[in-house]
Structure 1
Amino acid sequence: MSRFPADPARYNSFLRDLFGVMAYTELSAFERLSSDARYAPTLHDRAALGRIAVIEFQHYELVSSRLEAMGLDTEEAMLPFQPSVDHFHKRTRPADWHESLIKAYVIDTVSADAYRAMSRYLDAGTRALVEQVQAGDEAAAVLRERLRAALADDPKLASRLALWARRLLGEVLNEAQRMSFEHAFADRLIGADEDGPRELVRALLRELAANHARRMTQLGLAG
């Protein structure tokens, strides 16, 4: 059951920022995947990453449409999050094609987990949008299939990619925690006058790390 604040102004402010960061991360993912596709070793790989990029842009359009329906400008909603997201991607620039695959997979799956966990506290309409954006597992499934094929072709990749995945998870969780506190997401979501905003964030980070570890194990990597 959702527990969004009764204060409409505070909740709408939270939604503006939630949709702003969602829109920019989806737009950024589209740009990143489109660029990475150029370095794919085969045309099959290039087409696979290009298909995922299209999915990400469709997600951006969904969120942008919701912002416009709220009477908000999408660019203005995204701008506060652009520096943080861009800096994150500069810090985690992949060294090669295989690191690009792992980065895309980690970000896609951890982000989906985070939004789904957050949707427990949202109103029904917002929860439906989050579920629509995160619906299905097509992008993750494609990335997982390409990673398994790469690991089967070259088992020596496993140790390097496992280390890279661990670093990525740490960067993702640190960025999520920093952004949550900087923009007071948890406080606005469950109320600053209630107990537990910080514990909510810590519990979410533990949940994301545990889910990531299971996925890495399934890939044959140490998460």
Structure 2
Amino acid sequence: MTKSPLTFGSAAAAEDAELALLGLIAYQELTSFEHLSSDARLSPTLVDRETLGRFAVTEFGHFEMVRELIADRGLDPQEVIEPFMASLDEMHRRTKPGDWYESLTKAYVIDGVAADFYALIASGLEPAARSLVEEVKTAQGITDWLRERLQLAIADHPERASRLALWGRRLLGEALTQAREIGETYDFWGALQAEGRNDRGQEMTALFARLVENHSRRMRQLGMTA
């Protein structure tokens, strides 16, 4: 992946950053749709299958929303989205779940970290970009259901807790590595500097600390140690 020459020193550079973020979010939403659809087919109950199918439709709707926004700017959505495909696909290849409960944990962890990352990066961009991220990544219903379903699975079989906790730590490591690589490639840290904040190193440290803190809170809600 070629490093983008974004510096955020001009309106044009900031617009490039927004487009990169839109491409990233669009592909994340598309892959979320695909994985939730697959998880639905493997569900142990019809209720689970119906719920995950509904969530998959929601994620595809988010993808279409972002895709249309890119097209409305006169750009080819495929060209904006394509740079993120290889790295995200590789991350998902490395984190292939072993069973349905690991799949739910993956959705819970990866989507949670991704939503936090997008929101923190968008905080340094224009109001329109922040508004879109908030609309697309506000999927509290999905997060709540995943948490409750995992809590039930652990209550039924307590031995699952340690295995899923270990899996969650691996997923966090992969998600943070992905966030760092994409952040550096597209120089999203420049967006965090745009409002006269600290230097990039401090902003990166603070951002990743926030990602870990939020992940730890979500895992504690499952009764697990992050």
Question: 1:111 corresponds to which residue?
Answer: 114
Q: What letter matches 1:123 in structure 2?
A: E
Q: Residue 9 of structure 1: CA displacement?
A: 1.3
* Cα distance in 2 for residues equivalent to 1:133 and 1:166: 26
Q: What letter matches 1:25 in structure 2?
A: Q
* Cα distance in 2 for residues equivalent to 1:68 and 1:17: 14
What is the correspondence of 1:62-211 to structure 2 with a 5 Å cutoff? 62-187=65-190, 190=193, 196-211=199-214
Q: Residue 111 of structure 1: CA displacement?
A: 1.3
Q: What letter matches 2:218 in structure 1?
A: R
Consecutive aligned runs of 4 or more in structure 1 exceeding 4 Å deviation:
none
* Cα distance in 1 for residues equivalent to 2:28 and 2:39: 16
* 8 Å CA contact 1:30, 1:53 repeated in 2: yes
Structure 1: tracts of 5 or more residues without a match: none
* Cα distance in 2 for residues equivalent to 1:194 and 1:42: 49
Q: What letter matches 1:147 in structure 2?
A: L
Alpha-carbon displacement from aligned partner over 1:5-56 (angstroms, at most 9, x marks no partner): 4612111111111100110110011111111211111111111211111111
* TM-score in terms of structure 2 length: 0.91
* Cα distance in 1 for residues equivalent to 2:9 and 2:71: 23
Q: Once superposed, what is the RMSD of the aligned Cα atoms?
A: 1.9
Identity of aligned residues (%): 46
Alpha-carbon displacement from aligned partner over 1:183-215 (angstroms, at most 9, x marks no partner): 222135536x99622332221111010111111
Q: What letter matches 1:146 in structure 2?
A: R
* Cα distance in 2 for residues equivalent to 1:188 and 1:126: 12
Q: Could you tell which deviates more after superposition, 28-37 or 95-104? A: 28-37
Question: 2:21 corresponds to which residue?
Answer: 18
* Cα distance in 1 for residues equivalent to 2:121 and 2:187: 14
Q: What letter matches 2:132 in structure 1?
A: L
Question: 1:46 corresponds to which residue?
Answer: 49
The one of 3, 8, 11 equivalent to 2:11 is: 8
* TM-score in terms of structure 1 length: 0.92
Residues 63 and 136 of structure 1: CA distance in aligned 2, closer, same or farther (over 3 Å): same
* 8 Å CA contact 1:27, 1:57 repeated in 2: yes
* Cα distance in 1 for residues equivalent to 2:197 and 2:74: 30
